[in-house]
A and B are shown apart, each in its own frame.
Chain A
């Protein structure tokens, strides 16, 4: 690169921008010089984050009103973006409470829609635009909970399983059209969602680790990533336990 040349980097759209992982991802890409589009409900409340990122990284940060569950608004949302991003990261997710989801089916549906229907809907719209353009990267943050249903959180897990399958199919469809899809299976992450849980430190990533892993995966066009490699092994074991054994396990 010759001296003085300015490399314009493409915008990165962060869906569900309020979460700890989303914030870390936004910082990571802003630090690399990408303009950032933060999309969330009540997006005006992200003003302080916008100011912070603009000061730190001297990139443009824009705020966009976005409700993952209002799927009927998603087409307009995508059309309303001033610039179509080169990369979109979906950090939308809601764990809910398994017990509540069992008693109150409406609560269960909210968990399923938040983790599958909403994220899949917005990615479906973006995928078509990216395919039209012939470039772009979609990063879906799914979960190891989707690898096998467990009694303790299968509502969340089943929705994540759906999202993982969606991402896999989308990747397969778009591979020949210049669009790349990254599936992120982070394992335990120290976030607001897991604040009350007693997580083993060795298995728990920080949001910044997830962000770093995502930035690398985007640059190197990786397909499926676990943030901490140990999770690949753990999930391999969990997946291979025979069902007759698994169903009576407390896991």
Chain B
């Protein structure tokens, strides 16, 4: 069948299997060239293998929950949305969450996803206690910080290339309500935005939306949004009746592919102006439900269709702290000069990061969406070069078009990762079209 990631680019003809038992997975592993696939929310080709894509949707059972520690044991195919639905009413929330709840436990571990609290809490891997991994020989190994430590560390952020994650123990965090206290702060330009991030290092959550079409002195005009989990005291009487119920949001669906020309300099500029003005109106403190705060785009099912039939690509890089100001300046200048519309330009401060192959690094990350065209692909190549020049690296869960040379130049850990894969005979047992493209 035709298979792609969330960006709907590239599309490959791939054999997809959805095994029902551990034995059936092992049988697939024997065939070689396998990659496990969760809910298909990686943007590019991370979870596609032409000959052997193994869909984990049937491994979606929760196994155990410890009320004292907040540790949940679950099969790899369990959706984050289901975890929230089950445990938020009991006062627990994911310790780290990406920008969509339609991801699986296995996928979050493989990509070592980060959230708006990375500067304080680090990535998802920090809250993984152990992983059961099926290796190339078909045996299940429990990997943790105590046993099979190396394999554990390579698996967190290893993009599914160390084996098939079967189940895992992850930790949730206690919360008092389902609400977030949001503070919106306008920033006139990039420097002001960075200053705000630095001033608010103690905020639990922080994220910036950037108007990437503004230029000159206004380059990097942003809204910086901080967030804290609300206490019961923050709620009004009606909300306090059931503090864990923030109501159901109505979900909309994008019914068809929008024409790809719909997103152009004019429409994106208009959207950005509206969004910014709207943000200014909401300046100061606001109470926001968890779903709107963490997953605004999940309310529009199939939002990836607004980029048209050709699909879109996301560019996301991280820059080291000392090079962030100049690097971001150059990146945003390149984008605004190209006039390429990116609806979603997200800026975020990263904190310290452990992990052998995880994406984040102490510094800043910038994420941009572009509809696929030769022009935007050229632009992204330029952004690659700027990132390299400033010692930055790239997020594999978003990548769909980088070259192996770019990856090697950006990250000296790539060589070690490949060495480890060869030593453990994980190549070519586990392989995605991305790992082939990037020589991993």
Decide if B23 is an interface residue (CB 8 Å cutoff): no
Bound state CA distance, A49 and B61, in angstroms? Answer: 7
Check if B20 sits within 8 Å of A55, measured CB to CB. no
User: CA A48 – CA B86 in complex, angstroms?
Assistant: 17
Complex interface residues of chain B between 173 and 213 (CB less than 8 A to chain A): none
Docked-complex contact A55 and B241, CB < 8 angstroms: no
Question: Nearest-CB distance from B399 to chain A (Å)?
Answer: 30
CB-defined interface of B130-156 with A at 8 Å, one 1/0 digit per residue?
Answer: 000000000000000000000000000
User: A-side binding surface: helix, strand, loop or mixed?
Assistant: helix
A3 at the binding interface (Cβ < 8 Å): yes
Q: Is B68 engaged at the interface, CB distance under 8 Å to the other chain?
A: no
Instruction: Indicate if the CB atoms of A56 and B20 lie closer than 8 Å.
Output: no
> Would you call the interface of chain B mostly helix, strand, loop, or mixed?
mixed
What's the count of A-B pairs with C-beta under 8 Å? 22
One of A3, A51, A57, A192 near B64 (C-beta < 8 A): A51
The residues of A that contact B62 with a CB separation of less than 8 Å are 51-52, 55-56
Q: Is B63 touching A3 in the complex (CB atoms < 8 A)?
A: no
Smallest CB-CB separation from B82: which chain A residue? Answer: A56
Query: A195's closest neighbor in chain B, by CB?
Result: B18
Q: Are B61 and A51 in contact (CB under 8 A)?
A: yes
Pair A56/B63 contact, Cβ less than 8 Å? no
B65 CB within 8 Å of chain A? yes
Q: Bound complex: CA of A218 vs CA of B218, how far in Å?
A: 60
Residues of the A chain whose Cβ atoms lie less than 8 Å from the Cβ of B63: 48, 51-52, 55
Provide the residues of chain B in CB contact with A192, threshold 8 Å.
20
Residues of the A chain whose Cβ atoms lie less than 8 Å from the Cβ of B82: 56
C-alpha gap A48/B62 in the complex (Å): 8
> Which residues from A are CB-within-8-Å of B20?
192
Min CB distance, B62 to chain A, in Å?
Answer: 4
Q: What interface size band does chain A fall in? A: under 10
A3: nearest residue on chain B (CB-CB)?
Answer: B241
Interface string of A19-34 (1 = CB under 8 A from B): 0000000000000000
Chain A, Cβ-Cβ closest to B61: A52
Which residues 26-69 in A have Cβ within 8 Å of B in the complex?
48-49, 51-52, 55-57
Contacts of A51 in B (CB 8 A): 61-64
Q: How far is the CA of A57 from the CA of B65 in the complex (A)?
A: 13
A57 to B90, CA, bound (A): 11
Please give me the residue from chain B that is nearest to A54 by CB atom.
Answer: B62
The 8 A CB mask of B63-82 against A (1 = contact, 0 = none) is 11100000000000000001
**Least Cβ–Cβ distance between A3 and chain B, in angstroms:** 7
Looking at the assembled complex, report how far the CB atom of B140 sits from the nearest CB atom of chain A, in whole angstroms.
15
Q: How would residues 89 to 100 of chain A score, 1 for a CB under 8 Å from any chain B CB and 0 otherwise?
A: 000000000000
Q: Looking at the assembled complex, report how far the CB atom of A10 sits from the nearest CB atom of chain B, in whole angstroms.
A: 22
Residues of A within 8 A of B64 (CB): 51, 55
Whole-angstrom distance from the CB of B302 to the nearest CB of chain A?
A: 15
- The residues in B between 341 and 387 inclusive whose CB is less than 8 angstroms from any CB of A are none
Q: Report how far A49 CA is from B59 CA in the complex, Å.
A: 11
The docked-state distance in angstroms from the alpha carbon of A3 to that of B238 is 12
Cβ–Cβ < 8 Å partners of A56 in chain B? 62, 82, 85-86
Which residues of the partner chain B approach A57 to less than 8 Å between Cβ atoms?
86
Cα of A59 to Cα of B82 in the assembled complex, Å: 16
Name which of A3, A55, A57 has the most chain B CB atoms within 10 A of its CB: A55
Q: What's the nearest-Cβ distance from chain A to residue B196, in Å?
A: 40
**Considering the chains assembled together, what is the distance between the CA atoms of A192 and B85 in angstroms?**
27
CA distance A56 to B20 in the complex (A): 20
> Distance in Å from the Cβ of A192 to the closest Cβ of chain B?
7
Enumerate chain B residues within 8 angstroms of A55, measured Cβ to Cβ.
62-65, 86
Complex interface: chain A residues within 8 A of B61 (CB): 48-49, 51-52
What is the distance, in angstroms, from A31's C-beta to the closest C-beta of chain B?
A: 9
CA A201 to CA B163, docked complex, whole Å = 32
Assembled-state Cα–Cα distance A192/B20 (Å): 9
Q: How far is the CA of A203 from the CA of B322 in the complex (A)?
A: 57
How many whole Å from A162's CB to the nearest CB in chain B? Answer: 30
Chain A proximity mask over B313-354: 1 for CB below 8 Å, otherwise 0: 000000000000000000000000000000000000000000
Nearest to B83 among chain A residues (CB) is A56
Smallest CB separation, A95 vs chain B (Å): 17
The docked-state distance in angstroms from the alpha carbon of A192 to that of B58 is 11
Contacts of A48 in B (CB 8 A): 61, 63
Query: Taking CB as reference atom, which chain B residue is nearest A57?
Result: B86
In the complex, residue of chain B having the shortest beta-carbon distance to the beta carbon of A55 = B62
Q: How far is the CB of B426 from chain A (nearest CB, A)?
A: 28
Q: What CA separation (Å) do A55 and B61 show in the bound complex?
A: 9
Residues in A54-88 with C-beta less than 8 Å from chain B? 55-57
The chain A residue with its CB closest to the CB of B89 is A58
In the complex the two chains form, what is the Cα distance from A55 to B64 in whole Å? 7
> Which residues from A are CB-within-8-Å of B86?
55-57
Which residues from chain A sit less than 8 Å from chain B, CB to CB? 3, 48-49, 51-52, 55-57, 192
Given contacts A52-B62, A52-B63, 15 further A-B contacts (CB under 8 A): A3-B241, A48-B63, A51-B61, A51-B62, A51-B63, A52-B61, A55-B62, A55-B64, A55-B65, A55-B86, A56-B62, A56-B82, A56-B85, A56-B86, A192-B20
Residue pairs across A and B with Cβ atoms less than 8 A apart, 22 shown, are A3-B241, A48-B61, A48-B63, A49-B61, A51-B61, A51-B62, A51-B63, A51-B64, A52-B61, A52-B62, A52-B63, A55-B62, A55-B63, A55-B64, A55-B65, A55-B86, A56-B62, A56-B82, A56-B85, A56-B86, A57-B86, A192-B20
Instruction: For the complex of A and B, list the 4 residue pairs with the smallest distance between their C-beta atoms, beginning with the closest.
Output: A52-B61, A55-B62, A56-B86, A52-B62
